[in-house]
Structure 1
Amino acid sequence: MVLTKNNSAFLDLAPFANLLKSLLFPTALFLFATSIAQSEIDSLSKLINDEANPSRKAELLLKRGVLFSKNERQKGFDDLEQALNFFSKNGDGQGETDSYIAFGNLHFIYGEPQEAARYDSLAMQLAKNIQYKKGRAVAIGNLGREFINLGHLNEAETLIKEAIAIEETFKPLNKDRLAELYNRYNIIVSAKGNYLEGLLLIEKAIALSKGSKNDKQVSLIYSNYANTLSRLSKFDEAVEMHFKVIRLCEKMKDTTGLLRVYNNLGIAFRNGGEFDKAITYYKKSIALAKDAANYKSLGLNYVNLATVYSEKGQLEAMDTLYRQGIEYFEKASDIGGIAFANHNYGNFLVISKNYTEADKRLEEAYRLRKQIGAELAAASSLSVLGKSAMEQKNWKKAEEYLLAAEPFYKGKVRENRNLKELYGYLKTLYTEKENFERALYYQTQELELEKSIFTENEKINALKTETAYEMEKRDMEMSLQKQKQELERQRLLLIGGSVMLILFLISLSLWLRRKQLKERHQAQLINIEQEHRLNLAKSLKNTEQQERKKIAHKLHDEAGSILSIAILNLKQIQADVFKTESKAQEKLETTQKLLGDISESVRNISHTLMPVALEKYGLKAAIHDIVNAVNTSQKLTVEEIIEGLDETSSWSEEYCLTVYRIVQEAMNNIIKHAQATHVLLQLVELEDSVTVYIEDNGKGIDNNLRKDGLGLKMLKSNVAYLNGTIEINGNANNGTFILAELPIEITKKTTLVSKS
């Protein structure tokens, strides 16, 4: 029995209200799992679009079709229909069979077991006609799956046995498919109450799934193993196994697996008497089942939740929960579920003394369970009917129910708890009827079963140990055989590998030698070319500086002197010859002004070509000259910081001139383009280099529109000539900074001006 406590206490509706509040808890997990499936769909879509082979494309369509969620079911069916049409048109019987199987899988995933059974029946018949053994085995196994879901356990058992027999003829075995079939077989025999046989079957499934990469199937097998342990009162082991399944489901983002394991954990905690934990996990399962529209799981969870509240004595809202459970099972067309919900509801109604409705529910449960071959479950319904009749003092009806239940337990030793309860009812019945001989008989039977309960767990442990020993022995034999094969394989690989390694090393050595020679030759060519370019650049630069200096001196010494003499002569003529009234006086003054301007222009050109301050007083003084000239203009203010540069006599003239040109060009660019009002100029002499930092507060540089002009190009060219580095950066309306580092070039100073 599921309900045994006769407690009519009435509490508040808080548990039911808490249940309703928790229904939205795991929605986020469901949505995330959906996104994982979408990623796989997208990957297959790309393969389908790129595939040129029509047959391979149809196979990919079958794979993608079964991945679509229920909200996109038409897309899934369109894929399968397209594949089926291709295989049918080309007379590919195996492809057609696989298409029917895919249709069955999709309908089953969408909670439509009857339609799934129709397609699997078509696949099974077609596979038989074309002698496609693999397709037949899969179709038969899937049809058994649908019959389990519909509650037709006898037919399901026949089909699963047949599928296993076919699968075990294949060489090599497909362990994943066999493990799945043994897992389904465990569900059938456990539903019929044969828990010991179920334990053997599920352990065989676990052994076959060892090393499997199909995490989803492994989680299903572990989940059923935990349920079997729970039925055998191994609560701690069952809970541990359930949490192992949770970790697997979370790894796979498997929402359906999580809602199932939450429900199973609720059952395990309920069986262990931890009702509050059971309620927590039932609520989690309900929330996920609602998001996934899984009606069977919803029905199961509502009935289980009602059962726990009933066992806690919290009887409010029980009718609502049970009726919701029945309604969801009816939506799922699950006969076994409808029977289960009616049985538990009837048991609750017996406790509540509502015998008329209780008997109606229990008789419906018995009828449905008898219909699907769940004999022990049917016997359980008869026992509760007998209990109800006894409480109504209908002794004759109670005796009919209880005696009808007794034969179902024959040969089902593991159901001694329910049988013990049945014997207790019969003892009470015959005591009330004053048939003490029969009452004593059933009391004796009850006591015998009580003894067997204490030794049963020991039998289970012995059976598990024996099974584990046989599996370990078989694994060791297989391991030894594999080791021998591996050693032989390794020996051959070692010989072949050694030969290949020697040949490889010889080839590698020759290749490296050739590569080194080639690289060395290339490096020499590059060095020669670089040295040639550097020498050429220096020669050109030296020639340029010499010519600049020669022109500067000639302009200053020759043209400047001549212009000065001409101006002086004109002044003398003005004083001695011309009269005051003559207009020649005005013309002479104009001529003097023009000659003065020409003289100043020649002087400026001379200083630009070769700064006098640099030549006479050194680099530091020449930099001061530039700063003073800019500050005198009063257009902007230059803040000057110079550290070092006091002793530059050992530096080459071309180095000093290039540093000067860099500062000069930077200042010219700021004056022409920056629209700045303040400039910071900092020169720092380091141990073997000079750092030049120039920053202004001008309009900056728009990096998106930046394009180096002639000035910036000349600046970078001068820095590159000294093998230096330069960074120019700035943002619009935030000014610009220039940072250059110039390695000091020390050479014997030579005069670049040749005597004219």
Structure 2
Amino acid sequence: MKHKVLLVLIFLLAVFAEAQEKNLVDGVFETIQKMEDNHNKIKALLTQAEIKKDTDIRNALRYGKAALALSERLSHKPGIIGSLETIAELNSRLGNHDSSLLQYNQALIVARSLGDSLKVGILLFNIGSTYRTKGELQTAIEYCLQAKKRIEASGDRSWMAKMYNGLQLLYYYLPDYNKAIQFGKEAVFSAREIHDQDLLIKALSNLSMPYKDRQELDTSRQLLLESYTLARQTNDLHAQSAILLNLAGVFLEEKNYQAVKQYANQSLQLNKSLETQEGVCTSLRAMAISHLQTKEYDSAKYYAEAAISIADANNYTYEKASCLKTLSNIYYAMGNVDAGENYYNLSDDMFEQLFREENQASAARYEKLFEAEKKDNQILLQQANIRYKSVWNAILAVGIATILIISFLVYRNYYNRQKLQQRRITELETEKQLAATEAVLKGEEQERTRLAKDLHDGLGGMLSGIKYSLHTMKGNLIMTAENAQAFERSIDMLDSSIAEMRRVAHNMMPEALVKFGLDTALKDFCNDINQTGALNVTYQSIGLNDVPIEQTKSVTVYRIVQELLNNTIKHASATNALVQLTYDNSQLTITVEDDGKGFETAILKGSKGIGWINIQNRIEFLKGKWDVDSHPGKGTSVNIVIDN
């Protein structure tokens, strides 16, 4: 009963605290609304919007819209520009990019009317950044290059730093990683120089991305961790959610799928609390990818379908195409090729449609530019016939350049699609080949196990029974000394047959491998060879204690070592051999060396020997890498590396 009362009290306190917070927000808004309608009231409303944009976007929008309404009533153009910028930024955070573009363009018209070159540059930059977010990179380039001229001409260090950060992202998406890193470093340096912590957070996070794609993962992770620490200090939840998602991407490259789940889930929860639908959509796709990699296909499908639903509802075309591609990979992994192919085609069609729309938009913009220049040229024609000819030459050059650009983009799209399809076909063929190899190897081991059991339990039992019967008969027979000697030789031959049968059965499936694991089995195998005197084998194992190795992998590694030592005994004329197994950083390294006569490794490329082919197939099945180092008269060394 006490626990129930306590729970009720906690609930009432939570409700009371929430009501108090709402009343406080409403109280601040009402207090500002009671102020006299003037420029100070506009500043107060925009200040509150700035304070709340990282923690309460809905209320921040309320203040921004109130500031816009007041600015319009007072015909205060700087207030109109500031209000429209604030509302556009908030809409962008909510994923409403079309609304954001509308408000930035409205602000741009007002800024041009004021003749404020820096503000025009800033708005052009913001428009370009929004187009970049929408994936319309050609349009983004046009606006950002216009902005660059104006901002650099102003000498404003703060906005130059922001511009470098924006250009970093733009070149990253093109992709041109060298330029992205160049502008990223300038953005980080400038942000540190002017002590702009918010910008530094963004610049560090953005700079991590080209390093990640260049597989410089340690650098990428360090940049993200520094950015995340700063974001936590400033309580910037939006930045935290984006950084967590980028960290998930780094761990995905490192194949640390549990870490991917952890960071993607943290990002998902933050985006849900912030009500940023685009962030939720991206986080869900990251969760789907992480569950796909850990073969939790039902969960992966659930997250992918949830992401597609949000992308549909908010018209996030690029994100939807990416989610469809993820869903296609999930169905392929589940073995549902038809569904995988269907979703792959849907994704491919959407990417093609996006590319086509971008080309059409670019063509339309160039057409407008062409028409504008044509009118100007007609005016210039009336003024001077000489200038008329030069202008038409310029127009012709622009037209040819436009056609060449569009042709290049169409060709690049076709080439990329062909390359993507070929890569997919190659991946499917590789997967099919690995599956076939796995089936053959498993079948082979199962048959070995069955034969070993049949030999030991069937033929072994029969031979032991015959031996027992002969011993029993010996006591009941009267034989000459010569016959008794022949009888003893027969029993000795029977003992030898039983021992040979047991040796064959043991080689087919060593009991030590099943009962005690790979390390013990290989140690016993090497000792058995030493006892035969055919070869002196030294066995070493490092880091294998208490390391769980899958049964199939253990058997395959055992067979590889067995085949390599058999080749040494048959062909190398060696006296000594070394077998070494090392486990470090989730990698198993196998080294087999001998002091035999060696050979030219070039002959392996054309070798049709079953032994080498079996070794190669088993290594490929384990997705390992191998290297053979041998020279005539200098022995042979085989090194194999396998990820566990």
Taking structure 1 as the reference length, the TM-score comes to: 0.43
Greater share of helix: 2
Taking structure 2 as the reference length, the TM-score comes to: 0.49
